[in-house]
Amino acid sequence: MKIGFIGLGIMGKPMAKNLLKAGYNVVCYSRTKKDIDDVVAAGAEAGTSSADVASQVDLVITMLPNSPEVKSVVLGEGGILEGAREGLIIIDMSSIAPLASQEIAAACALKGVRLLDAPVSGGEPKAIDASLAIMVGGDLDLFEEVKDILLVMGGSAVHCGPIGAGNTTKLANQIIVALNIAAVAEAFTLVRKAGVDPSLVFDAIKGGLAGSTVMNAKAPMMMDSNYKPGFKVDLHIKDLANALDTGHQVGSPLPLTALAREMMETLHADGYGGDDHSALARYYAKVSGTKIGEE
């Protein structure tokens, strides 16, 4: 099977490379030429547009920032549907609003194109080592048809329900991750202010009920003041905004999500939107006057 890959950012680039390593023929496209060149150097072919990619392949994977970008790439001028033939499969692995996934899928169906929404969790490290958690919405038979391809990029791929269910699952994931990071930052700021070594506290609690994948990944970054992005604050703001919008639409109050988003908006306003979301520690440093780690 020949696969198109559109969107070669922090996540998309290693995902496309993992498909190449698995022996798939990949045609790639991105707005940034150097990213195309990097994936081409790994063995891919370069497309000239989203439509051009779609015209050459059996399946297109998109990995884009948000709903407007996915709508533009799929439905817009020079987009996937412009070059698509009937039977093309699209797997949108972007994290977008569930209702947007449903709108895009409906437009695709009019051209005989099938779509799955399949957002991922794990950030850049898991994109690189192909251990992403993939959450999928759409037709179950189509999911089974492409599951082996998904598992080239991820350690798990779970069908969560109809179109939009993948992104609903991702929103739940992003709420839990954001609040977990905030809790870690709050707790370790308390530890530092109380005069206790955060590294010793981390060793003491990581094997207990407070232990988590999030704490294991983010507490060391906070202690090292290392905010190199695996997942940027600004992208998490986008996800939490989608969660809040979806919550309003379905009547589900999300007060803690709103608080976490405002904390991240403070980081954005302070110029840290490009930092890893573990930079929530910076928010607590600002309000407490105490840093968890050393700059």
170 catalytically annotated:
yes
Share of the chain above pLDDT 90, in %: 96
Mean pLDDT on 5-33: 97
Residue 113 CB-half CA count within 13 A: 28
Sign, CA dihedral 283-286-292-295, equals positive
55: amino acid identity, one letter = S
d(CA 61, CA 91): 5
Of the residues 13, 126, 170, 238, which is catalytic? 170
Which of 141, 142, 133, 3 minimizes the C-alpha distance to 62?
Answer: 3
- Structure confidence at residue 134 as a pLDDT band (50, 70, 90): very high
Amino acid identity, residue 136?
A: V
- The average confidence (pLDDT) of the chain is 97
Model pLDDT for residues 212-253, shown as the tens digit of each residue: 999 999 999 999 999 999 889 999 999 999 999 999 999 999
Count of other CB atoms within 10 angstroms of residue 60: 28
User: How does pLDDT run across 180-220, given as a tens digit for each residue?
Assistant: 999 999 999 999 999 999 999 999 999 999 999 999 999 99
pTM equals 0.91
> Kind and range of the H or E element at 147?
helix 140-153
Structure confidence by residue, pLDDT tens digits, 250-280: 999 999 999 999 999 999 999 999 999 999 9
Q: Which amino acid is at 211?
A: G
| Domains of the chain by residue range | 2-162, 168-288
CATH superfamily of 168-288: N-(1-d-carboxylethyl)-l-norvaline Dehydrogenase; domain 2 (1.10.1040.10)
What number is the average pLDDT over the span 135-160?
Answer: 98
The superfamily CATH assigns to domain 2-162 is NAD(P)-binding Rossmann-like Domain (3.40.50.720)
Q: What is the pLDDT of residues 28-61, one digit of tens each?
A: 999 999 999 999 999 999 999 999 999 999 999 9
Distance of CA 263 to the CA centre of its chain: 20
Q: What is the pLDDT of residue 264?
A: 98
Contacts of 233 (CB under 8 A, 6+ apart): 264, 267, 268, 272, 273, 274, 275, 276, 277, 279
